[in-house]
Chain A
Amino acid sequence: MELNTLTAVELLKMIKSKEATAASICERLKKRISEVDGRVSAYVRSEDLSGAGHDSVSLPIALKDNICTEGLNTQCCSKILEGFRPPYDATVVAKLKKQAVGIFPLKTNMDEFAFGSSTENSFFGPTHNPWDLERVPGGSSGGSAAAVAADEAIWALGSDTGGSIRQPASFCGVVGLKPTYGRVSRFGLIAFASSLDQIGPITKNVGDCALLLNIISGYDPKDSTSVNIDVPDYTKSLSGEARGIKIGTPKEYFVEGMDEEVKDIITEAINKLKTLGAVSREISLPHTEYAVPVYYIIATAEASSNLARFDGVQYGYRAEANDLLQMYKLTRGQGFGQEAKRRILLGTFALSHGYFDAYYLRAQKARTLIKEDFDRAFEEVDCIVAPTSPTPAFKIGERADNPLKMYLSDIYTISVNLAGIPAISIPCGFTKKGLPVGLQIMAKPFNEEMILRLAHAYEQSTPWHTMKPKL
């Protein structure tokens, strides 16, 4: 088998036993990229490949373009941050380097500043879903998910604010995990929404996911929102045992608008879990219908403030102007894409004088209610299972002109970020058109072990994770 088609766990064993070298793995990856990335566009700035000499003794990982790497281009796939080379590494990058994981010199494509669910909002153009090149890979970590699915990367990191790891993982048939808020340091992650963002693994299987989570997790004194709780060995959760795990299915999630095929595949997956010994019941998350509005107020408000620093003064794009005010306005008017402008304006509005109480404050209160729904649910069950997305991957351009429709597709993933809980998406089947469908498993804060245990048990008794797209 070609080296690039193997998992990280397998390759690390081979490196240790000297059956393979990291250099040969890198070469194989570069070859694969040259073969398929012209069609997939999982990576950006191919010119970076020649410039950087990366550490050839380490197994390489692909990083989303919003994770800071010292001396390497990091621009969130936005024109406004062109040319930015951070003078420091994100904490997760430092941790990876310490564990002898190499940083692949190319970054993966994303929706600009993580604003999107399709990777169509990238300054570099869209990524194409390896399972059907006319369709989106999901977003905003579409590049990372597509690269892993197409064996253009062994494993990858993405970021998730409202589903941006899980949804592309489900569209691309790979594994994607959003850790508990505060489990992984945000230092070096270019912020979208500070109270929702988390970096997480995108991998070929649950085993790689557990290993990667071990490496990137942990308290960081540079991040005031990272939590000082010991990191367990997540690979010990891979017991294959699902017996006795109590799972809940939220009744509010199985409603209209859901694709019939997706519904059937998910139902099938839940049945599978039951045959493996999980005990299922229906639960209620009564405030589900408010999740999308709450998210789009809080996330955009925080984003409008976080993105104010992109003003042309110290880094990135600066427009020609004779005076300061024009410089700001033209730089930001020309440097940001449409979705970025939409969200910044929405967020600015939600915080502005006269609207703060009705929008931002109200959304923060509703967030409390949403979190309480989950607290109550986890008193009854160990895991909540649900679809990751109401539909499989849609066609490129299909929703580009309808931002609201695009936002509504986040319905199953968004509440997880609002509640701060961990959740994974694992492949659980294919539609008749051959498009992957993802199963989402959620657990209470800092209980990633339960998620991995259930996900691994499911994976071991299904073939989905072994299937590859024909490219």
Chain B
Amino acid sequence: MALDKKTVEYVANLARIELKPEESLKLASQLEDILSFIDRLSKLDTDNVKPTNHILPIHNVLREDQPEPSLTVEQVLGNTAHKKGSFFTVPKIIE
């Protein structure tokens, strides 16, 4: 299927990935090839077939409502330098 530049940009935006212009071009072409190949799936008659949401026939996996210890704040913030006190920090959201 044809994948135009606009669609690639839309999808890249949804996925929050910044693409350089040459990247965008290359990816569009590669994705087009892949999608063309994938399109053979449309030959298959799946009208009366149920989708597989879970490959295993298990249901109702639940747990008891019993508390367990949480992490310490140090552990929580231990993998980033972007913190202030006990908070994570991120740049402001521009409306």
Binding site for B on A (CB under 8 A): 83-85, 87, 181-182, 195, 221, 224-225, 227, 287, 289-290, 292-294, 296-297, 304, 308, 311, 313-316, 318, 321-330, 332-334, 336, 338, 341-342, 344-346, 348-349, 352, 358-359, 361-369, 371, 403-404, 407, 418-420
Does any Cβ of A come within 8 Å of B6's Cβ? no
Tell me if B50 and A329 are in contact (CB < 8 A): no
Q: How far is the CB of B84 from chain A (nearest CB, A)?
A: 13
B52 within 8 A of A: yes
Q: Say yes or no: A365 contacts B50, CB within 8 Å.
A: yes
The digit string for B84-95, where 1 denotes a CB below 8 A from any CB of A, is: 000010111110
Would you mind naming 28 contact pairs between A and B with Cβ atoms under 8 Å apart? Answer: A182-B56, A225-B54, A227-B56, A227-B58, A293-B39, A294-B41, A313-B82, A314-B88, A318-B80, A324-B90, A324-B91, A325-B16, A326-B91, A328-B16, A332-B18, A333-B19, A333-B20, A334-B18, A341-B27, A345-B8, A345-B12, A345-B27, A349-B35, A366-B41, A366-B44, A366-B46, A367-B51, A367-B55
Closest to A84 in B: B79
Shortest CB-to-CB span from A83 to chain B, Å, is: 7
Partner of A371, one of B42, B46, B55: B55
Q: Is the CB of A330 within 8 A of B18?
A: yes
- Chain B residues with CB under 8 Å of A316's CB are 79
* CB contact between B49 and one of A83, A311, A341, A365 (< 8 Å): that residue: A365
Bound: A53/B78 CA distance, A: 20
Q: Contact: A358 with B16, CB < 8 Å?
A: no
- Residues B18 and A333 in contact, CB atoms below 8 Å apart: yes
B91 contacts A420, C-beta separation under 8 Å = no
Contacting pair B79 A404 (CB below 8 A): no
Which chain B residues have a beta carbon within 8 Å of chain A's beta carbons?
Answer: 7-8, 10-12, 14-20, 23, 27, 30-31, 33-35, 37-42, 44, 46, 49-56, 58, 61, 63, 71, 75-76, 78-80, 82, 88, 90-94
Interface SS majority for chain A: helix
CB A293 to nearest CB in B, in angstroms, measures 4
Nearest A residue to B62 by beta-carbon distance? A224
State whether A324 and B92 are in contact (beta carbons under 8 Å apart), knowing that A181-B56, A336-B17 are contacts in the complex.
Answer: yes
A335 to B11, CA, bound (A): 18
**Separation in Å of the A180 CB from the closest CB of chain B?**
9
Q: Which of A87, A349, A367, A404 neighbours the largest number of chain B CB atoms within 10 Å of its CB?
A: A349
- In the bound complex, residues from chain A placing their C-beta under 8 Å from that of B78 are 85, 87
Point out the residue from A225, A325, A334, A367 that lies within 8 Å of B94, measured CB to CB: A325
- Do residues B34 and A296 form an inter-chain contact, with CB atoms below 8 A? yes
Q: Which of B10, B19, B49, B92 contacts A369 (CB 8 A)?
A: B49
Question: 19 additional contacts, CB 8 Å, given A290-B44, A362-B46, A364-B52?
Answer: A83-B79, A314-B88, A323-B93, A323-B94, A325-B16, A326-B91, A328-B16, A329-B16, A329-B18, A345-B11, A348-B15, A349-B7, A362-B44, A363-B41, A368-B52, A369-B49, A403-B34, A404-B34, A420-B56
